[in-house]
Amino acid sequence: MITEIVRFTIAPGIDRDEVIRRFESTMPGWQVNENLVRKYYLYDAETRQGGGVYLWPDKAAAQAAHDAEWCDRAEKLYGSRPTFEYYETPCIVDNSG
């Protein structure tokens, strides 16, 4: 498994409610991505940072989902180009039940 961390700076003038609305507008597309194991949306009002933490079967799946076209859409939606980090995920603890 691979954990991918995607970050971007949210443009001035986009408040929390609007960020969440924009996040929610992207959810259906992620729900149909058969390679995506899990996604967490991230938002920090103080630093104006947003992004996501994704769990993928491999790095190729992550990179395929976040191609240049996706980066262009994210920049238009949030105001900046995203950055990416990838980590091997050898173990997972899930205490959700």
CA–CA dist 60, 49 (Å, integer): 25
Q: What is the CATH number of domain 2-88?
A: 3.30.70.100
Task: Give 40-96 pLDDT, tens digit per residue.
Answer: 999 999 999 999 999 999 999 999 999 999 999 999 999 999 999 999 999 999 998
- What pTM, to 2 d.p., does this model score? 0.94
Half-sphere exposure of 85 (CA within 13 A, CB side): 8
Please name the helix (run of DSSP H) or strand (run of DSSP E) that holds residue 31, with its range, or none. Answer: helix 16-31
